[in-house]
Amino acid sequence: MISKDDIKKLATLSRIDMDDAETEKLAGEVGSILEYVGQIKEAQVGTDAYIFGPHNVMREDIPINESSEHTEVILKNAPKRDGNYVSVKKIL
């Protein structure tokens, strides 16, 4: 478990002002976090456990709409158009 003096030292190094109540509360919280990390470190993992290798989880890129199916609807809502494109100001 981490002591209140360690928390005060870390607060000083971090240039954080903490009163005694905050120091005590933070010492308890950090202590419980470190205890949990210790439990994770002690977990036994068998060497026969199946390990997933890299694999593609993405779907095939198959178009579901016909080409230019929604073009007119979108261009009707645009403030300005140039043929089948939305016209915008050039920003450099």
Residues 6 or more apart whose CB falls under 8 angstroms from that of 6 comprise 27
Q: What are the domain boundaries of the chain?
A: 1-61
> pLDDT for 17-51, tens place per residue?
999 999 999 999 999 999 999 888 887 766 655 66
Mean pLDDT, residues 57-83 taken together: 87
The Cα-based distances of 92 to 26, 37, 58, 82, 89 in angstroms read 49, 50, 36, 20, 10
